Amino acid sequence: MPYIQDFSRNIAEFGFLTAMCGNTVLIYLTGWMTKQIQGPYKRMIIIFACLGLAFSVVEMLARPFVHSYNGAFVYFSLAREISGMEGFITFLLALYAGLYAALISFVAVQFIFRYFILNDQDIATMLFRGWKMIIWVVYALFFGALGLPGFPLWKEPSEKDPGQLQLRKSSAVFWCGTVSILLFQYVVMIFCGTSMHFQMVEKLKHFSSTHQRLQKQFFKTLVCQITVPTLLFHMPIVPVLSAPFLNLKISIQSGIIYSFFSLYPPIDSFLLMYIVSDYRNALSKLMSRNKQVYTGSNAFSTQVSVRMT
């Protein structure tokens, strides 16, 4: 159904444009305009925003789409511009899935950081300060790379291994790899998040009211960062990923579900800028500054035109 593919493409393009705008603004505000967000967490936000930008760019190049058929699903590209470059397309499709796994993994890293900030700031400093941030980037990229075996080189059908059986095997490999990565990261986030929830009131008594408010906003942001993809992306895709194991006899273009994944980077950036007051203040200052510049240039133009007349 071409209209489903077109609608899926429109969603992806909207996600790309909003991700470019939202994550670029987020990087600028974090790097130059926020006052209370400093140190390792500032670098984490910038790194996460850059991963979101990379994910959006790869999504636009790869144009991934999925068709579920008879207990399996076919993961392919609709990028007609590079249709003759099969090896490059396969790489982009693998990179797309890997970057998404890396995004979720880096959210888990932020949970770990906030957990140690609340319980032992010395350990947080030791684990995340300076060059050690590279270790956590490698951590996220490592789990992203674990998703790559889910994209095997397709073999020609044979009597012993017909194409349908090979399709189901590949779907099962992708399913197991993806779910294993997500489950591990969810365990980390649930453990850290639950511990922070029950300890936050007691631990924050020793901090200033400003710091208490900021820590609560950061915690709320992290909860939203994992709740949104769970409800919007992961839960709807469970029936599709379960098809190889349940041997469901279906034939649907499920790519429309995957297209919503492109909305995760912009949603994440907008949530952060909305929840954390430091970003709202920075945005307000930025808009006021632009308004003053615009007003000043208009006044100058008016004065020039009056003198000329």
Q: How confident is the model at residue 177 (pLDDT cuts 50, 70, 90)?
A: low
Between the CA of residue 110 and those of 42, 105, 133, 137, what are the distances in Å?
11, 9, 11, 11
Q: Which amino acid is at 169?
A: K
Which of 8-12, 173-177, 254-258 is the least confident region?
173-177
| Residues 2-13, mean pLDDT to the nearest whole number | 76
| Residues 198-219, mean pLDDT to the nearest whole number | 83
Cα 140 to Cα 126: distance, rounded to the nearest angstrom: 19
Q: 169 or 290: which carries more pLDDT confidence?
A: 290
Is 70 exceeded by the pLDDT of residue 277? Answer: yes
For position 157, what pLDDT does the model report?
A: 46
Is 90 exceeded by the pLDDT of residue 26? Answer: yes
**Given its phi and psi angles, is residue 39 left (phi above 0), alpha (psi -120 to 50 degrees) or beta?**
left
Domains in the chain, start-ordered, CATH in brackets? 2-275 (1.20.1070.10)
Which of the listed ranges 28-32, 121-125, 200-204 does the model predict with the highest average pLDDT? 28-32
User: pLDDT for 49-69, tens place per residue?
Assistant: 999 999 999 988 888 877 766
Is 70 exceeded by the pLDDT of residue 108? Answer: yes
Cα 278 to Cα 34: distance, rounded to the nearest angstrom: 6
For position 152, what pLDDT does the model report?
A: 47
Output b/e per residue, 106-145; b: 16+ Cβ within 10 A: bbbbbbbbbbbbbeeeeebeebbeeeebeebbebbbebbe
Q: How confident is the model at residue 132 (pLDDT cuts 50, 70, 90)?
A: very high
Mean pLDDT of the chain: 79
Q: 110 or 207: which carries more pLDDT confidence?
A: 110
Cα 282 to Cα 35: distance, rounded to the nearest angstrom: 9
For position 292, what pLDDT does the model report?
A: 64
